[in-house]
Amino acid sequence: MTADGPPANRPPHIAFASGVSAINRLDFAVPAALLLMAAALTGCDTQPRDDGQAEPESVVETEVDSALTYQIDRSHADETAPAALFTAPDGKPARLADFRGKPLVVNLWATWCAPCIKEMPTLDALAVREGEAATVLVVSQDLTGEKAVAPFFAQRKFKRLEPYLDTENALATALAAQTLPVTVIYDARGIEVARVVGAMSWDGDRAAGLLDEADKATQTAG
- pLDDT of 68: 79
Of 108, 96, 100, 83, whose CA–CA distance to 165 is shortest? 108
Per-residue pLDDT of the chain (222 residues; tens, 9 = 90+): 333 455 667 766 564 332 222 223 333 344 433 323 333 343 323 232 344 433 433 455 565 666 678 999 999 999 999 999 999 999 999 999 999 999 999 999 999 999 999 999 999 999 999 999 999 999 999 999 999 999 999 999 999 999 999 999 999 999 999 999 999 999 999 999 999 999 999 999 999 999 999 999 878 876
**pLDDT of amino acid 218:** 79
CB-based contact 31:179 (threshold 8 Å):
yes
| SS3 track for 24-70 | HHHCCCECCCHHHHHHHHHCCCCCCCCCCCCCCHHHEEEEEECCEEE
Could you tell me where the DSSP H helices lie in the chain?
A: 23-26, 37-42, 114-130, 146-156, 170-174, 205-221
Q: Tell me whether residue 102 is exposed, middle or buried, using C-beta atoms within 10 angstroms of its C-beta: 0 to 12, 13 to 18, 19 or more.
A: middle
- Number of other residues whose CB lies within 10 A of the CB of residue 51: 6
Give whole-number Cα distances, 25 to 9, 41, 142, 193, in Å.
22, 8, 21, 26
Task: Give residues with Cβ within 8 angstroms of 122, minimum separation 6.
Answer: 200, 201, 202, 203, 204, 207
Pairing of strands 135-140, 68-73: unpaired
Provide the edge-to-edge strand list for the sheet that holds 93-94: 60-65, 68-73, 192-198, 182-186, 104-109, 135-140, 163-165, 86-87, 93-94
Residue 163: alpha-carbon gap to chain centroid:
14
Query: Domain 7-44+60-221 sits in which CATH superfamily?
Result: Glutaredoxin (3.40.30.10)
